[in-house]
Structure 1
C-alpha cells in the first residue's frame, strides 16, 4: 500500500519549445513521461511570441499522456515555467487577452531605454539589470501598446489559474520580473511605479512548495504542491544547495546559477541577483548569468551546412587538432550577462583558405565555453570565492568536445549530470516538499551522480591565452557596434536580435 509520501507525483516542465511531463516515484524513479511541442513565432523587431492556448494544451497533453503511460494515480502535481514569458488575461474568465510574449522577445527595448536613468535604482531594489529579457519591461510594453484590460502576469500565474483557479506565483518566478524587492521577497511599490504598473492586480507570492489549489485537469482532484521557475528547478535537481556551488544548463542558451545561501547579492559584475527558492518561508538566493545562444548557435551552423546536427560536433570538430586561429563570438542574438548588449552581432575572425568545418566547430565550442567562464569569473568576483567545480546538464552536454573545452577554459572539473530532464525532476522535488514539509531539499531531490567528469587537459597559461583571444574579439564586437550605433539613432526603437 502506498502513502502520499511514497506515491508518485506528476512534474510538468512548460518550456520555450515544448512541455515535458514526468511521473516521478520517490522509490522507482520516472515511471511515465511524455512531451508536447510548443511553436513560438519569430518576427521583425525582436518579436518572439506564442499562442497561450498552445502553452495550456501542451501542459494538458503532456501531463495526461505521462499519466496514461505510468498507469497509476499521483499524489500531487508540480509545475515549472519559463520565467520571463508574459501575457495579459481576464481574471474572471481566464481567457487570454494577448499572445504570450516570450522571454527572448526584445520589443521592450524602448521601455528600458526610457528607464535607463533608473537602472541602478532598479538593480539595487530587485537585483536585476535593466533589460528586456526580464518580465517587467514586457509587461509595461503590453500595457502601453496592446491592452489596459485584465491582469498582466508571467505565464505561470495564468497556467496555475487555468488549472486551479488560484492567483499565485512562486518567489523565484516573481524574482524574474524586476518587480520583486529582493530583500523583502515582496512586490516593490517603487519598481511597480517606475514601470507604470502600480495599481495592477498582482498574484500572491508563495513558496515553491505548499498546497496552492487542486486541479481536475488530469483526472480526479489532485493538489498542486510545487511551483518553481525552470533554471532554479534545475538548480534544485542538481543538488546545488550550498554556497560556492554552481550549475550550468546548456539548452537554447546556457544558464549558469550559483548558490549564495540566505544572503541576497547585488552583482557588481553584470549578473542577476535573484531568489533560488523560498521554502517554509525561508529564502535561498543565487547569482544568475545567461548566454543567449548555445544550441541555437549549433542550429545556425547546421542551417549553413557546416554540420548535419549537434550529434556531429565531436566528429567534425575532432577532425582538426584546434580552432586553426579562428575565433567565434556567437552573439547571434546579442550578448547577455555580464555585458547585457542585446543589440550586438556575432563575429568570426581568423578565417583563411585552409579553414575547415572542424575549425568552425571548435571555435564555436570555445565561444560558448568562454562566455560561461566569464559568468563563473563574475560569480567569483561578486562572492570572493572561486567555483570549485561546475555541474552541467542539457542536450549539449552530450558533446565531449564542448565539455572538455569547458573544463579546459574554466580550469575546473565539469561534472555532467546523469539525470535527464532535471527541470522536471526539480519541480517534482518541490511537489514532494509540498506534500511532506518535514523533508529537506536534499532529501526531496533525486540522487545525484555524474555520468562523466571532465578534468582540464591544458595548463592555466594556455587557458588564459585562449580566453584573452576571445575577450579581445568580444571587445572588437562591442567597439564595432558602439561605432555603428553612433552613426544611427537606435534609441528607443526595438532591436531585432535574430
Structure 2
C-alpha cells in the first residue's frame, strides 16, 4: 500500500494541512489562522514567525486528526503563497523584515521607474512588470529596509527553518520575475534590472526533489514535495493536458490553463509561467489573476452587508432575483490580468434608493465571475481553441450563487471539486513522487470527483449583455487619469533607474550605472 504523506498549504489568511494517501484519500486535516495586516497605501504585511508557527500547528493537527488511520506518514510536502517575500538571516534563520504579501503594492513607484524594461522582462520571464510579483518587492526591501541577510520568497525561508536547506522549486522561482522562462535558471539580466545582481539566491529544484529532513511535526520526516499554491491546485485538479483549465477562488481568484512542455508567451495579457518540474520534466501554463475574491467578500462583511461572512453569500444574494442594475468592479486592490492596472480601484454603479444588501452581493458575484470569464477568454485566445469546462476549487466554491453565476457568464460547465481546498492535494502528489520516482502523476493524485457541476441557465445573449455592462464599467475606470508614478498597462513610464541604488540613493561599490539589455544576456546558475 502506498504510504501517506503530510501536505501543508501555507496561504494568505491561513495554513491548511492534510494527511493524504493516493489510495485511501484524505485521512486527517488541520488548520491554523494567519492574520495579514492591511495597511494604508496598499501595504499588506504578515509576521513571518506566525507563518512558520501556522505551518507547524496545522501539520501537527492533521497528524493528530489522522491518528492510527494514517499508519506511518512517510514524507512532507509544502505549498506556498508564491509572491510573498522577506529578508532573513541564513546563519540563524531569523527574519529581518516582515513578509510583504503578494497583494502588497508599495513597489509601484519602483516598477514605474523600470517601465522601459517591461517588454524585455516579459519576453525573458513571461511576467509583466507589476508589484504583484516577487522581484519588485525584493528590490523594495533592499532599497528601503535592509541589505543584510538574503531576500527570498517565503518558501525558501520556511524550508530553511524546517530542514536547513536553501532551495526553491521551479514553479515558485517562476513567480519572482528573476527566472529565465526557457532555461529555468536565475537570470543575471533580470537581477541586474532590479538591482539584485550578486544576491545569494536559493537552488532551484524539482517539485518532487527530496531536500532535507524535518522534526517540526514529531518524528524525522523527509521533505520531498515543493510547489507554489496555484500550480499545486492545477496538479490536484488533474489539469495536465494542454487546453484544460482550473480556477481557484480564495483570497484572490486564479485561473490557470495548461500549455504543455513548452512555454507559450501570452498575447492576451496573461502570465506565462512554469506549472511544475517533476522528475526533470517541465510543464508550463498560462495564469490569470483576480486580486480580490474572498478579500472582497470580507470587505462586504466588514461593511455589515454579510453578517455571517462568506457563509451568507447565498442567503443574502438569493433574497433578490438579480443585481437590480448594480454593477460592481471589485478591483479593491487594482485590476490584474488582462488589464494590469494596479493603480485602479473598484467601482459600484447603478445604485438607487431601492438598492439592498442582496443586490450588492449579486453584483459582487457577477463582478468576480465576469473577471474570471475575461481570463478564460484570454486563455482560449492564447491556446487557439475554446475551453470546454472550468474546474473550480477554493473556499468560495461553497457558494452555489457564485458558481452558477460563473457558469452563466462563461457559458460553460463549471465542475466544483468535492474538496474545496485542493492545493494541499497537489503538493501531496509531488511529495509522493519524491518518495517514489517511478510513480506516475495520475497515480499520485487521489481521485476526488466534482461535488457539483453547474451548467449555464441563461442564454448566450443574456450572458453577453451582462458581461458587456461589466466591460463598460471597467472601461470607465481605465479612462480615468492614472495615479502619479504608477505604470499604465505595461506602457513605458519615464523615470530614473533603480538598479544598484543604495538606501541613501548612492550606487554601492561595483554597481553598474547602466544596465545591460536583456536580449542575449547570461543567466546565473
> Does TM-score exceed 0.5, indicating one fold?
yes
Question: Are 1:126 and 1:181, in contact at CA under 8 Å, matched by a contact in 2?
Answer: yes
Question: 2:58 — aligned with what?
Answer: 62
Q: Distance in 2 between matches of 1:165 and 1:194?
A: 30
Q: SS state of the match for residue 214, structure 1?
A: strand
The reply to whether residue 252 of structure 1 matches residue 251 of structure 2 is yes
Question: 2:170 — aligned with what?
Answer: 171
Shift in Å, 1:65: 2.3
The reply to whether residue 364 of structure 1 matches residue 360 of structure 2 is no
Which of the numbers 38, 41, 54 marks the counterpart of 2:34? 38
Q: Give unpaired runs (5+ residues) of structure 1.
A: 494-498
Question: Are 2:115 and 2:494, in contact at CA under 8 Å, matched by a contact in 1?
Answer: no
Question: 1:330 — aligned with what?
Answer: 330
Q: For each residue in 1:237-290, what CA deviation from the matched residue of structure 2 results, as whole angstroms up to 9, or x when unmatched?
A: 111111111000111111101100112022111111000000111110000011
Question: 1:208 — aligned with what?
Answer: 207
Question: 1:376 — aligned with what?
Answer: 376
After TM superposition, the score normalised by the length of structure 2 is 0.90
Question: 2:19 — aligned with what?
Answer: 23
Question: 1:193 — aligned with what?
Answer: 192
Question: Are 2:112 and 2:485, in contact at CA under 8 Å, matched by a contact in 1?
Answer: no
Q: SS state of the match for residue 247, structure 2?
A: strand
Question: Are 1:110 and 1:492, in contact at CA under 8 Å, matched by a contact in 2?
Answer: no
Q: CA RMSD in A?
A: 1.8
Q: Distance in 2 between matches of 1:161 and 1:486?
A: 37
Shift in Å, 1:429: 0.6
Shift in Å, 1:491: 9.2
Question: Are 1:67 and 1:73, in contact at CA under 8 Å, matched by a contact in 2?
Answer: no
Shift in Å, 1:480: 2.5
Q: For each residue in 1:409-454, what CA deviation from the matched residue of structure 2 results, as whole angstroms up to 9, or x when unmatched?
A: 1011001111232011111011001011111211111103111111
Q: Distance in 2 between matches of 1:36 and 1:491?
A: 44
Q: SS state of the match for residue 24, structure 1?
A: strand
Shift in Å, 1:29: 1.9
The reply to whether residue 94 of structure 1 matches residue 90 of structure 2 is no
1:406-421 aligned within 5 A: 406-421=406-421
Question: Are 1:291 and 1:336, in contact at CA under 8 Å, matched by a contact in 2?
Answer: yes
1:106-121 aligned within 5 A: 106-121=105-120
Q: For each residue in 1:154-192, what CA deviation from the matched residue of structure 2 results, as whole angstroms up to 9, or x when unmatched?
A: 110011111111111000000000000001111111101
Shift in Å, 1:345: 1.4
Q: SS state of the match for residue 314, structure 2?
A: helix
The reply to whether residue 432 of structure 1 matches residue 432 of structure 2 is yes
Question: 2:292 — aligned with what?
Answer: 293
1:133-152 aligned within 5 A: 133-152=132-151
Q: Distance in 2 between matches of 1:195 and 1:80?
A: 26
The reply to whether residue 103 of structure 1 matches residue 91 of structure 2 is no
After TM superposition, the score normalised by the length of structure 1 is 0.95
Which of the numbers 4, 20, 25 marks the counterpart of 1:8? 4
Q: Distance in 2 between matches of 1:229 and 1:64?
A: 21
The reply to whether residue 85 of structure 1 matches residue 84 of structure 2 is yes
Question: 1:387 — aligned with what?
Answer: 387
Shift in Å, 1:44: 2.0
Question: Are 1:11 and 1:22, in contact at CA under 8 Å, matched by a contact in 2?
Answer: yes
Q: Distance in 2 between matches of 1:465 and 1:261?
A: 34
Question: 2:472 — aligned with what?
Answer: 472
Question: 1:455 — aligned with what?
Answer: 455
Q: Distance in 2 between matches of 1:268 and 1:212?
A: 36
Q: Give unpaired runs (5+ residues) of structure 2.
A: 487-492, 497-525
Q: SS state of the match for residue 377, structure 2?
A: helix
Q: For each residue in 1:69-104, what CA deviation from the matched residue of structure 2 results, as whole angstroms up to 9, or x when unmatched?
A: 322431000000010111111112212111111111
Q: 1:291 to 1:89 in 2, by over 3 A?
A: same
Question: 1:123 — aligned with what?
Answer: 122
Q: Distance in 1 between matches of 2:256 and 2:214?
A: 32
Q: Distance in 1 between matches of 2:342 and 2:75?
A: 40
Question: Are 1:254 and 1:293, in contact at CA under 8 Å, matched by a contact in 2?
Answer: yes
Question: 1:496 — aligned with what?
Answer: none
Shift in Å, 1:354: 2.1
Q: Distance in 1 between matches of 2:402 and 2:225?
A: 33
Range that drifts further, 444-453 or 114-123: 444-453
Aligned length: 486
Q: Distance in 2 between matches of 1:266 and 1:420?
A: 30
Range that drifts further, 93-102 or 201-210: 93-102
Q: Distance in 2 between matches of 1:310 and 1:426?
A: 25
Q: Distance in 1 between matches of 2:313 and 2:34?
A: 26
Q: SS state of the match for residue 111, structure 1?
A: helix
Shift in Å, 1:315: 2.3
Shift in Å, 1:316: 2.2
